[in-house]
Amino acid sequence: MAPTEDEHAANGNAHVHADGSHEEHLVPRLTLIPHRHTKVIHLIRHGLGYHNVAGQQNHEEYKSWEYEDAHLTPEGWKQALALGQHIRSLGTAFRADAIIVSPLTRTLETAAGAFGAGRWQRGDPQPPLMVEQTEVPGKRAAMHAISAAGCPPLIAWEGCREHLGVHPCDKRQPMRDIKPSFPAVDFSLIESEEDVLWRLEHRETHEEIKRRGVRFLQWLMSRPEQHIAVVSHSSFVFFMLQAFGHGAAPRVQGELHKWYENCELRSVVLSDEGGAHDHPDPLHFRGGKHVL
C-alpha cells in the first residue's frame, strides 16, 4: 500500500519505496547569498515614554498635545541603561559600525542611554551625546550628561520615524530645539528645520508604513557599514517587517513579525538578492595563480 500524505510528512524529505525502504532527498529551506550583499541590522525600540504610560491608560491620550515628541520616563531610562549593560556584556559578539536613530526625543534619549559611556565630565575631549536635563514632572525625567566616548557614529534619519500623523507624540520638534540637547549626534541628514512629514489630518496607513520601511532598508543597504544598529519605534518596525518573510516557516515568521517591547533588541540579516548594492568584501580573497 502506498504511503499516505501524512506518512510522507512524518518522514520529512524521505521518499518511501514500495519495499518500505527510504531514500533521503536534501531539500533545505536555506538561502545562500554572497556575503557582500548582506548586512546585520540590530533593530531596537525606544524605552518607555510618557505618552506610552498615558496611552495605555486611555488610548485617546495619544492625541493629546501634552505628549508632543514625548520624553522617556524614569522607567524608560532604566530600560535604556539596562540595554546598554546587555550590549556591553556581549563584547565582540555585538558590533555596530553606525547607529541610525529616529530624530524624535525618546529615540535619541534611548540611543544615548544604550550606547553612551556613562556620565560626561567637563574637560572630556568630545562633546556629550546628551546634555544634562532637569526634571519636568510628568513630562521629562532628570538625567546627567552622557559621554560619547567610544560610541560609533550616531546618525539621525527621518526615514525610521514612528507612524506619522494625528498623534502629537510622533511629531518632531524643530531642529533648533533638538540639536543643542544632543551635541555629538550627526543631524546633517535632516533636511528641514520644521517637521514637514507629520500631518494633523492624516495618519499613515499600514501599507504606507510598509513602503517607507522598504525604502529605509534600501537606504541602509546602500550605506558602507556592514553592521548597523537602528533605534526606532514599535509601529514602524512592526509594519516594516510585515513586508518580509512570508515564505518562511511559521516559527521564523513568528519571530520576525512579533511586536517589539520597549527597549527590545532583535537582530536580522538584510540581504539584497537583486545585487543592486555593490559593496567590496574584505573577506574575499581572489585565489588562483600568483607571482611572488
CB hemisphere CA count around 168 (13 angstroms): 12
Q: Which of 150, 33, 171 is nearest to 106 (CA)?
A: 171
Assign residue 35 a region (left: φ > 0; alpha: ψ between -120 and 50; beta: otherwise). alpha
Active-site residue flag, 23? no
Residues in contact with 17: Cβ distance below 8 Å, sequence separation at least 6, in sequence order: 23
CA distance 64 to 8: 58
Residues in contact with 121: Cβ distance below 8 Å, sequence separation at least 6, in sequence order: 147
Q: CA dist 141 to 51, 122, 170, Å?
A: 13, 22, 19
What does the angle CA 183 – CA 187 – CA 188 come to, to the nearest 5 degrees? 125
Which three cell numbers, joined as nine digits, stand for 279? 559593496
Q: Is the dihedral of CA 51, 179, 137, 111 positive or negative?
A: positive
Please tell me which residue in 61, 109, 158, 162 is annotated as part of the active site: 162
DSSP state of 35: G
Active-site residue flag, 46? yes
CA distance 205 to 55: 20
CA distance 286 to 114: 39
Please tell me which residue in 46, 51, 163, 167 is annotated as part of the active site: 46
Enumerate the active-site residues.
Answer: 46, 162
